[in-house]
Every structure is written in structure tokens, then in C-alpha cells.
Amino acid sequence: MAVTIRDVAKRLNLSITTVSRALDGYDDVAEDTRERVRNAAAQMGYAPSHMARQMRRQRADTIGFAISLPPTARDNTNNRAFADPFVLEFIAGLGDEATQCHLDLIVSTATPGMEEETLFRRWVQGRRLDGVVVNRLRKDDWRVAYLTQNRVPFVASGHLQGATFPFIEVDGKSGFKRMVQYLAGKGHARIGYIGGPDGLRLQDDRLAGYRAGLRAAGLSFNKAFLAQGDMTRNGGYAAALQLLALPQRPSAILCVNDMTAIGAMRAARERGLVVGRDIAIAGFDGIADAEHTEPPLTTLNQPAYDIARALVQMLAQMIEDGRRGQSHVPKQVLLQPELILRQSTEGGN
Amino acid sequence: MAVTIRDVAKRLNLSITTVSRALDGYDDVAEDTRERVRNAAAQMGYAPSHMARQMRRQRADTIGFAISLPPTARDNTNNRAFADPFVLEFIAGLGDEATQCHLDLIVSTATPGMEEETLFRRWVQGRRLDGVVVNRLRKDDWRVAYLTQNRVPFVASGHLQGATFPFIEVDGKSGFKRMVQYLAGKGHARIGYIGGPDGLRLQDDRLAGYRAGLRAAGLSFNKAFLAQGDMTRNGGYAAALQLLALPQRPSAILCVNDMTAIGAMRAARERGLVVGRDIAIAGFDGIADAEHTEPPLTTLNQPAYDIARALVQMLAQMIEDGRRGQSHVPKQVLLQPELILRQSTEGGN
DNA sequence: CTGTTAGCGCCTTCAG
DNA sequence: CTGAAGGCGCTAACAG
């Protein structure tokens, strides 16, 4: 058995209360008592039990991240959500800021055979969590409904119509509109689009941006130039092959995210096309890998790491307000993605 | 306040004991009582508090993963350990298997300003953890000493001389030896090596494999062909530039891992070399990205995901044995990495 | 300045 | 088959 506060108290002939307060830095403890306690604790290797403390304080000091996984994005052997560097960078941001706020981060990994939802419910109901970060919102997202109903504080990366919760959204519509206009300006008239799964909010958003861009450039929308991936490399690859097989293939392809674009580049290469000369390809996210592809990928950058950190701060504030019974004013932020031009969109018109 | 077992008991005029047992499936409860309890619980949205249960049972049902970070691999703004897909895949495996074993996984992210070690100690001392998975062992690893001393069960990815703990090791030495022999067989006489940070066990191992390979192929070891990276893309890039600037540059470069190799490929391209024709480059890990580089990367594959799952199982067993006071026989596994030949090592002799 | 008291929510003897 | 009692390790009122 590990050493408890009682052991320390006994050793010093003090009450456990005094030990507790000495260690927690209360000022109603004699300085030399505090010293003795500190020394004894250090020497005996005592550290307060996190569980007991949480229990007493009725807080978990833990937040959760519920990744949304499109079903096709996972196979039986591996959890592919983790394979997206964008998500990864996001998680790194969450973890870093959580640590700084003295919170733990639990990441939901829905394993094969265990529903994401089951797991999530268990967390919430078991009060393992003080709050949740949600990403990739779906159009009608059960997570939002569930969390709202159970009064669990949460913040979102992305937003929904009429959202009353805090969120940070990167403006995919405006981003892709600008991207299309840029490509049109370079002389592209046949611009294709590879999207993501249907239920996703961001899919609607980015697709709308694509169409708005076409309109703004005076280009007509061609349904045949639309393909659907699943936001993974392989999905992008398959979708691109489809577009490239058209009798009149697009001269430029926009992809819903960078992973899709990387898959699409591969498809183009296999068809004997040189990306950035015979065809233009662009993505969205600004993952580090996009710099290292051959050729480097044009993309819309969103600061995943910083967004994640900001979200955790917002969540921490929300939790704090909730504890004090204060009402929380949700902070809602809309960011513009930064257009990063690289060689993948050099030629191809 | 969330609904507790007392609320349920009160509602049904039962004791909390009975409710507890009914829900936990004990057989000394009348069937219809059980039914009533179940219904009430479901209706009231009761789920046992995880914290309280843990407290009572004196177990955290949580395992930790302590990533080892070479100092140069992190900068002030971002946690780069997460940027390595190999680590990622490993984490995915840990998470999946942990969930399956009804364990939570906490991943140590040492934030800027907070020492990895501090964090780690807090976990262990606060008994947040029932066990730990350790990776990238250092030659004289304080984590191993610390965990052993505190009697915290742990398993390692990789091993140390005379290890008494369970581990799974991928044989880097034999792997790189085979790789060098393969390259020598293709006519390469000037083979360079980009390693990782010095303190790492795997660095010794893989470097030894490189040297053994040279010996076996009758090639002499040339210190100038050795460069040091930090297992990141940027580290590989810088180290490769150095090797390529030599008056007699190597015709082939082995890299301690795939990320390093990807950086090296970039350096080669920038120097006007076509990888797979003017120069051969190979890595180690078998990350998914290695398939998608241009050209695809030759590498030694290690099944990160499966290793991680197996490690969690071993750890769970170890924890279980410990609870029962049984002695645990450490399982120690040595795997051979699989040589995957791709176009990055096609020519260049 | 220090100690006593009273739980946080649950599970597990031990008695009925 | 069910209930009462005790306590996991800690902290926060409230008394001295």
C-alpha cells in the first residue's frame, strides 16, 4: 500500500488536517510545522491520492475529446482517425493546454466492437469528465444534443446553425471561394472537387465555398466534377481516379482536406500526370506533410494547434463558471484560413 | 448534482446495498427486485460514479504512456512527438486495446514549461495509474529505475541489457544489417547513416546493425558518412545536407527512422538529385506515409499497432498478477522487422 | 495555529 | 434474499 496522509500525520504526531493544509499552502499553518510536514512527506514519498481528492472535491479534473469518425475511415485493424496529422496536431494542442490548466485529457478511441457512443455515454454518466471538446460536427449531431441535455460543458471545433455553445470555426466557405477564384484567375475553367462524407458540417461548408467560387468566377457548376472521398488518403486516391477517368477531365482539383489531396496527387502521378504542370491540386488544413509532398501542396492553412489550445481555455472557463453557478457567455470565433500557394497549383490550365 | 445510488435506493425504498448488487449482477438478488432496480436506474439516468468505485476498489483502471522526447524534437509552440506517425500508430494500438481491457489511457504530454518528469512523478505518486507503457528506452533510463523502485508495473517497447521487465523489441541491429547487405549487393560502396539522439537505446542498436552490415559486406566504416538527426523530418533534412555536401558523397543513405528519411529525400531533391536513381535512401518503421512519398520509400517495417496492443495485454496481465499477489513471469519478445523494398533504393550505385 | 467532525459515492464484510 | 455498518483518502466547516 502506498503511503497516505495518515502515515505522515502519525509520524509527526499531527492531525491529518494539519498535514493537508500544510501541503496545500494554506497560510494558517506555522512555518516550522509546514517545514516539518514537507520534509516528512518528501522523505516518505507521500503525494496526495488524486482519486481521493477528486472524490472529495467532486470534480474529475479531466476533459474528453470525442473524435468523430466517418465509418469508412476505420477498418478492422487500425484506428485511422489518428492517422490524420491535422487531428493529431489538434490533439497535441489539447493535451498541452490541458496539462497547463491542470487537466487530464482523455481521447475517445472507439475500438472495433465498441461503439463510440457507448464509450462516450459511459464517460459522461460515470462523471469521469468535467467537460468535452467536440470536433467535426455533424449536421444533426447527437453529441451536441446529449451533452446539452446532460448539462455537460462542451466546446466545439466548428459550429452549427444557431449554436448556443462556444466554438471556434474556420471559415471553409470563404476559404474555398478564394481558392477557386485563384485557380480561375490562372486560367482554369474545369475545376473539380473531392468532398468528404455527407453528414459532416464542414463538407457542406466547403462545398458551398467551391460553388460560390465558381459563381464568382463566372464558371458553371458541373456535377460530373464532383467526387466523394472520406477524408483519408485512400479515399482521395479513389475519388481522384474517378475524376481523372472522365473524357474531359478537370484541369484542377480541390480537395476537402490535405490527406485527400495527397491521395489525389498519387492518383494523378499514376495516370502519368505531373502535378503542378499537367494538373493543379489543392487541399485544406495546412498539415506539415503538405510542405513535403512532391511537389509541395497548395492549401488553406488552419492553425490546428492554436485552435485546440484556445478551445481548452474556453472550456476551462466554462467549467469554472458552471461551478460558481455563474452564467457563461459563450465565446464564438470565426477564423479565416490562410491561403498558402505552392507548386502543386502552378500549371495545368 | 448527478444522480447517485442513494437516489435510486430511496426511490425504491431499498437499501443502497441491494441496488449496488442488483446492478452488478450478483445472484443473491430476487429477479424482480433486480428488474425494478434496473428500470429505475435507466429511467433516472443513473450510472455508478467511476471515481467512487475506483476509490473503493483502490485501483485507477488507467494506464499511462510515457513518450520519450529528445529535447530537440520539441520546439516552443508544438509537441512534435505527436508528429511522428509511428508513435501515433502506436498510441492508436494502445488506446484500442486499453479500451477493450476496460482501461483508460493517459498520454504524457510534456508541455512547454512543464517537465516530463514532474508530470510523470505526479501520476505515479498520485496513484492515477495502475501501470505504464514505456517506449524509446534510454541507455540509463530514469523511468525504468523509478518505476521499478516504486513497484509500478510497466512494459516496454524496446529493451535494455539484462531487463527483468516484460518487453517487445524489434531487432534493429539485424534489420539494418540486412538492409546494408542488400544495398551492398546492388553495388553501393559508399553507404551513409543518419542516426538519432545519442542517449537512445535504439540508436546504438541500429547503428550497430549498420556497422555489422558493412563488415559482412566487406566494406570499411567511414566516420564521415555518419550524421546525426533527431528522428524528425527537419533533423533528417539537415543531416542529409551535411552528408550530401561531402566531396565524395554517399551513394546510399540509411536513416534511423522513416521521418528522418523523408527529410533526407527532400534534401536530396533540393540538391538536384533524383532519389532512386542518383541516390538510394531507406528508412525504418514502415509508416503509412512511406508508401506515399515520391518515390515510395524502402524501409524496415515494424508492426507498431500490433506491438502496442500486445504490450497492453501484457501489462494488464502483469497488473492482475500483482493484485493477486502472484509473481509475474515477464514475457520478453524479439521481433524481426520486415524489409520492404521500394523505388527509393532502386538505383544510385 | 491545530484538531474534531462529517462526509464525497461506492462496495464489501457481516448480520439478520 | 436484504440491510446496517465501516471505510477507501482526502478536504472543508467548525470549534477550540
A15 touches strand C (CB under 7 A): yes
B28 touches strand D (CB under 7 A): yes
Band of pLDDT at residue B114, cut at 50, 70 and 90 = low
User: In this predicted model, which residue has the larger pLDDT, B123 or A171?
Assistant: A171
B99 touches strand D (CB under 7 A): no
Q: Is A224 exposed, middle or buried (0-12, 13-18, 19+ CB in 10 A)?
A: middle
Mutation to test the B interface, candidates A292, A301, A306, A342, most B Cβ within 10 Å: A292
With beta carbons under 8 A apart, name residues in chain B contacting A305. Answer: 77-78
Mutation to test the A interface, candidates B55, B101, B111, most A Cβ within 10 Å: B111
Which pLDDT does position B169 carry in this prediction?
96
Whether the per-residue pLDDT at B209 is higher than 90: the answer is yes
Residue B291 grid cell: 508508401
Which pLDDT does position A56 carry in this prediction?
92
Band of pLDDT at residue B187, cut at 50, 70 and 90 = very high
Task: Render the burial of B145-184: b for 16+ CB within 10 Å, e for the rest.
Answer: ebbeeeebbbbbbbbbeeeebbbbbbbbbbbbbbbbbbbb
pLDDT tens-place string over residues B140-152: 888 899 899 888 9
Nearest CA in chain B to A127: B49
- Distance from the Cα of A291 to chain B's closest Cα (Å) equals 10
Closest nucleotide (C1' vs CA) to B31 is D1
Which pLDDT does position A81 carry in this prediction?
52
With beta carbons under 8 A apart, name residues in chain B contacting A78. Answer: 89, 92-93, 305
pLDDT tens-place string over residues A88-124: 889 889 988 998 898 988 877 655 555 667 777 778 8
Residue of B88, B97, B293 lying closest to A82 (CB–CB): B88
Whether the per-residue pLDDT at B5 is higher than 50: the answer is yes
Whether the per-residue pLDDT at B77 is higher than 50: the answer is no
Whether the per-residue pLDDT at B24 is higher than 90: the answer is no
User: In this predicted model, which residue has the larger pLDDT, B171 or B324?
Assistant: B171
CB contact under 8 A, B126 and A48: yes
Whether the per-residue pLDDT at B201 is higher than 80: the answer is yes
CB proximity list for A139: less than 8 A, separation 6 or greater:
A160, A199, A200, A201, A204
* String of DSSP letters for A163-212: --S-EEEE-HHHHHHHHHHHHHHTT---EEEEE--TTBHHHHHHHHHHHH
B245 touches strand D (CB under 7 A): no
CA distance to A135, B77, B180, per residue, from B206 (Å): 40, 31, 11
Which pLDDT does position A79 carry in this prediction?
45
Which pLDDT does position B79 carry in this prediction?
44
Calculate mean pLDDT across residues B280-287.
96
* String of DSSP letters for B212-267: HHHHHTTPPP-GGGEEE--SSHHHHHHHHHHHHTSTT--SEEEESSHHHHHHHHHH
Which pLDDT does position B254 carry in this prediction?
98
Q: Across all residues in chain B, what is the average pLDDT?
A: 89
Which pLDDT does position A113 carry in this prediction?
54
Those nucleotides of strand D lying less than 7 Å from any protein Cβ are: 1-5, 7-13
SS3 A281: strand
Beta-carbon count within 10 A of A176 CB: 26
Regions in chain A scoring below 70 on pLDDT: 1, 68-83, 109-116, 348-349
Closest nucleotide (C1' vs CA) to B37 is D2
A50 touches strand D (CB under 7 A): no
Nearest CA in chain B to A48: B126
**Residues 8-67, chain B: which have Cβ under 7 A from strand C?**
16-17, 20-21, 23-24, 46, 48-49, 52-53, 55-57
If you measure CA to C1', which residue is closest to nucleotide D11?
A56
Whether the per-residue pLDDT at B71 is higher than 90: the answer is no
The alpha helices in chain B, defined as continuous H runs, are: 5-12, 16-24, 31-44, 50-57, 85-100, 116-125, 142-149, 172-185, 201-216, 233-244, 258-270, 289-292, 304-323
Distance CA B84, CA B95 (A): 17
Which pLDDT does position A252 carry in this prediction?
97
Band of pLDDT at residue B122, cut at 50, 70 and 90 = confident
If you measure CA to C1', which residue is closest to nucleotide D8?
B56
B332: nearest Cα among B132, B148, B168, B161: B168
Distance CA B296, CA B298 (A): 7
Residue of A49, A109, A233 lying closest to B96 (CB–CB): A109
CB contact under 8 A, A50 and B107: no
Closest nucleotide (C1' vs CA) to B28 is D1
CA atoms within 13 A on the CB side of B2: 22
- Distance from the Cα of B95 to chain A's closest Cα (Å) equals 6
- Distance from the Cα of A138 to chain B's closest Cα (Å) equals 23
CB contact under 8 A, B88 and A100: no
Which pLDDT does position A84 carry in this prediction?
80
Those nucleotides of strand C lying less than 7 Å from any protein Cβ are: 1-5, 7-13
Residue appearing with cell numbers 482501461: B103
User: In this predicted model, which residue has the larger pLDDT, A132 or B71?
Assistant: A132
A26 touches strand D (CB under 7 A): no
pLDDT tens-place string over residues B219-262: 999 999 999 999 999 999 999 999 999 999 999 999 999 999 99
Closest nucleotide (C1' vs CA) to B29 is D1
Do the Cβ atoms of A130 and A62 come closer than 8 Å?
Answer: yes
